[in-house]
Amino acid sequence: MLDTKKSEKNFINNLSIESFRNHQYLEIITKTPSIVIYGKNGVGKTSILEAISIFSNTKGLRNSKLLEMIKVDQEMFCISMNIQDGNDIYSELKSTYSKYNKTRKIYINGKEKKK
């Protein structure tokens, strides 16, 4: 059973998105577990959520092909995030995809995760 008190203390404290959808580069840094993302239609709010969802399944929340997620005229995307738990332990997750060699790589704390 999930310990909800413990999981409430876990949060993303840094998110970096490069060449993903309509974002050339975006970095979000926060010190609190809750943030609000707002803006006009078409500015990339859902793309931020999709970038986070890349780590939970292979196709993101829109169920798109990885190739479709690369910003136009770019060769790859890179998404990284730092997760902080309630004990101030940090984990870094990173995902990249290259359209030329059609390769996705996932890194956990700097080490490539092998399939």
User: What pLDDT, in 10s, does the model give residues 4-19?
Assistant: 455 567 889 999 999 9
- The domain that contains 53 carries what CATH number? 3.40.50.300
- Residue 106 domain-assigned (yes or no): yes
* Count of domains observed in the chain: 1
User: What pLDDT, in 10s, does the model give residues 24-62?
Assistant: 999 999 988 888 999 999 999 999 999 999 888 666 777
Beta bridge partners of 108: 93, 111
- Give me the domain span that covers residue 60: 12-112
CA separation for the pair 51, 46 (Å, rounded): 9
- Residue 5 domain-assigned (yes or no): no
- Residue 85 domain-assigned (yes or no): yes
Q: How many CB atoms lie within 10 A of CB 19?
A: 20
Q: Buried b / exposed e across 52-82, counting CB within 10 Å, b at 16+?
A: bebbeeeebeeeeebeebbbeeeebbbbbbb
- Residue 1 domain-assigned (yes or no): no
pLDDT at 55: 86
pLDDT at 51: 94
What are the φ/ψ torsions at residue 77 (nearest 5 degrees)?
A: -120, 160
User: What pLDDT, in 10s, does the model give residues 53-89?
Assistant: 988 866 677 788 899 999 999 999 999 999 988 777 8
